Structure 1
């Protein structure tokens, strides 16, 4: 009896333990379900409370596994993550595309018909005509050097050697139409297309692509900013320490985007004026580094300093007005200067409106809780940042085309 009772007692004890274990398992699963539910603003830890007009759909102190899985779920940071993540891949694609198409960024004619043009064109006669018409060209400096270049370019043989003087473009533009319009060559079709054919042959040989590093520095700054922002909005809900690190990375990305945005307009506008080029580039670089250092202060990300943060970054952007006005003064007669300024004004408008929306927390302050998932100020700010950066990319292409063709 004792043994039997002892066995029964042990079995009952094991069954009880087993049932408790199962209940504990169910309890843990239920706790996980509750723990990883979205919470409201008042339930957040102090370091996560930033915008009191977004009332719900927060993730709070989740483990990294659940955080990474949450990129595919709906919460109040979903669109903040995806707007800049998509923006990052957009600029990564533009960078690869730009790297492949350069130096053809200046839209030069292709040389598909190069052999046919060489067969049709009488290079010896073309050489003689060019040498004959040189004296009739106005305002052409160093005519002896130019004649030497033509002799080198169009030798007596049919070999076409590289050009060494930018002024031959002006020569072809001003001289060939007049000369060939009064010539008595028999092949009228060849003569009619001679200017275009010669341009197709000559232009690629004459282009001396300028350095691309300012353009790609901007693209790198844009990609860093967008990726850092997406990572910040995804990971900041993990812990106070990780939130501090990711917010500083986000601020560094904003400063990098603003600073590198100056590089293409400053470098390509003042590449022939080294003093001003180095002055403006040095100023914005130092300002960007100083902004990053200030952002390391613990109080920088506090909600009450939102307007100070906005003003600091907006001030960085507005400091670009000086180089832009200087560019317009130097190159007021250049269409490219006006064209790029238009892009830069549009870019500044996007960034300015975005900063204003971010600082005022519109529209969620008008209807708290109605824009928790989509449409709140940070969503709109992100979209406008991507739009402004893309506008600046378009301006960069104009700068490259301008300087590739004209040089200094």
Structure 2
């Protein structure tokens, strides 16, 4: 009887509320708006479906099974995934900018002022750099190679920068008229050939291949964008959660694998056996990690520690090539410089994985870090910091190999 009386009182209250609505407002439309307002509210952990229950220490501000439109718009609202989305979304745009900068500027990574050259040669080099774009191409100067070699006694004093030849630079720089063998032009060429040779000697720089560096940048962008998308969309439905989590794990594996491409390739580019061995091993391990991540059982919360350990172990597999690099190039300051960056990167990733697995600090104060400061957000920040540290190491590798080539290997 008490239940019936309670139901009757609720019905009367609803009827009175409807009667108080303005006559100009459709009762049906008003009811739909009220329903939407209630339906898309944030809920607590205990109200979530089982597949969305991942961290019991985050107690509220969840978006359970919202429509896709509302899920997408929630990127601009406050909930417990807001900072998870934006920490990696901002990281994605950071690395997109670094990729564009690298493509445009880093081929000129060698700083002329850092070369151990006389000041006169440095000044001449800048003059030649200004003249190169304005001079027409020259079809053939190979007959003069013997004479030009005799005018470049100082080249042996410079580092073995690359496989460029003096004739290739002259071919692209000197005016076309010098390709003809009339007496006047030959005399003119002989009178200036020593000056030209001295000018181009420091220009014998051919940037090494950049694909390992861009592979890393691509892996970083894929990881950050996949993670951001996963945190934004996973609340929509169980099916989309299943897809997004696998995309997220694939992104992490891609970042770890491609992070080893620059150090392995540039350290062992002159030792093809070890270069292919290390690159092949880390690539196969990355593919295996992605395949394991596709197993449905791997997604259960009780496997959180195993997931973190697997990716951490994948990162630790890079210790061998780094130690090998130090043994081979102990006398090179660049080897120590890059190793310092790589150790710092490992510290960032390691601390991030530890925080992720232990759920610190929210496990100490459940509900206090729902919006900001919980473990996953800290993990994201440390991942971006580690990836940026590795980018700086990559710049050192590029400058080192552009200057040194395979000299001393």
Normalising by structure 1, what TM-score? 0.76
Please give the alpha-carbon distance, in whole angstroms, between the structure 1 residues aligned to 2:87 and 2:130: 50
Segment of structure 1 superposing worse, 296-305 or 223-232 = 296-305
* CA displacement at 1:209 relative to structure 2: 1.2
CA deviation vs aligned residue, 1:369-398 (integer Å, no higher than 9, x gap): 000000000000000000000000000000
**CA separation of 1:161 and 1:223: change in aligned 2, threshold 3 A:** farther
Partner of 2:127: 113
Match of 1:158 among 170, 189, 192: 192
SS at structure 1 position matched to 2:260? helix
* CA displacement at 1:29 relative to structure 2: 1.0
Please give the alpha-carbon distance, in whole angstroms, between the structure 2 residues aligned to 1:318 and 1:298: 25
Q: Are 2:98 and 1:94 equivalent residues in the alignment? A: yes
Q: Are 2:206 and 1:202 equivalent residues in the alignment? A: no
**CA separation of 1:158 and 1:378: change in aligned 2, threshold 3 A:** same
Partner of 2:381: 383
Please give the alpha-carbon distance, in whole angstroms, between the structure 1 residues aligned to 2:130 and 2:47: 77
* CA displacement at 1:31 relative to structure 2: 1.1
Please give the alpha-carbon distance, in whole angstroms, between the structure 2 residues aligned to 1:231 and 1:213: 26
What pairs with 1:123-134 in structure 2 (closer than 5 Å)?
Answer: 131=153
Please give the alpha-carbon distance, in whole angstroms, between the structure 1 residues aligned to 2:196 and 2:267: 28
Q: Are 2:82 and 1:78 equivalent residues in the alignment? A: yes
Q: Are 2:330 and 1:360 equivalent residues in the alignment? A: no
CA deviation vs aligned residue, 1:12-44 (integer Å, no higher than 9, x gap): xxxxxxx8x933322211110011000000000
Match of 1:293 among 291, 294, 319: 291
Partner of 2:36: 32
**CA separation of 1:299 and 1:162: change in aligned 2, threshold 3 A:** farther
Match of 2:249 among 248, 251, 268: 251
Match of 1:279 among 249, 269, 277: 277
Please give the alpha-carbon distance, in whole angstroms, between the structure 2 residues aligned to 1:221 and 1:239: 27
CA deviation vs aligned residue, 1:24-83 (integer Å, no higher than 9, x gap): 322211110011000000000000000000000000000111011100000000000000
User: Of the two, which has the highest radius of gyration?
Assistant: 1
* CA displacement at 1:160 relative to structure 2: 6.8
Tell me, yes or no, if the aligned pair for 2:152 and 2:201 is still in contact at 8 Å: no
Please give the alpha-carbon distance, in whole angstroms, between the structure 2 residues aligned to 1:115 and 1:298: 59
Aligned length: 339
SS at structure 2 position matched to 1:106? coil
Match of 1:47 among 51, 58, 61: 51
Structure 2, gaps ≥5 residues long: 1-22, 114-121, 132-147, 172-188
Partner of 1:339: 337
* CA displacement at 1:360 relative to structure 2: 0.3
SS at structure 1 position matched to 2:112? coil
Please give the alpha-carbon distance, in whole angstroms, between the structure 1 residues aligned to 2:99 and 2:361: 34
**CA separation of 1:253 and 1:88: change in aligned 2, threshold 3 A:** same
* CA displacement at 1:293 relative to structure 2: 0.5
* CA displacement at 1:130 relative to structure 2: 6.5
SS at structure 2 position matched to 1:156? helix
CA deviation vs aligned residue, 1:191-235 (integer Å, no higher than 9, x gap): xxxxxxx6x75323x112111100000000000000000000000
Partner of 2:262: 264
Please give the alpha-carbon distance, in whole angstroms, between the structure 2 residues aligned to 1:28 and 1:258: 48
Match of 2:219 among 221, 230, 237: 221
Please give the alpha-carbon distance, in whole angstroms, between the structure 2 residues aligned to 1:116 and 1:235: 52
* CA displacement at 1:156 relative to structure 2: 3.5
Please give the alpha-carbon distance, in whole angstroms, between the structure 1 residues aligned to 2:151 and 2:240: 73
RMSD over aligned CA atoms reads: 3.3
Tell me, yes or no, if the aligned pair for 2:151 and 2:194 is still in contact at 8 Å: no
CA deviation vs aligned residue, 1:130-189 (integer Å, no higher than 9, x gap): 65x89xx99x99xxxx9x99xx9xx833147998xxxxxxxxxxxxxxxxxxxxxxxxxx
Please give the alpha-carbon distance, in whole angstroms, between the structure 1 residues aligned to 2:194 and 2:150: 15
* CA displacement at 1:299 relative to structure 2: 1.4
SS at structure 2 position matched to 1:71? helix
After the TM superposition, which parts of structure 1 deviate over 3 Å for at least 4 consecutive aligned residues?
Answer: 108-117, 126-131, 159-163
Partner of 1:329: 327
Please give the alpha-carbon distance, in whole angstroms, between the structure 1 residues aligned to 2:276 and 2:56: 45
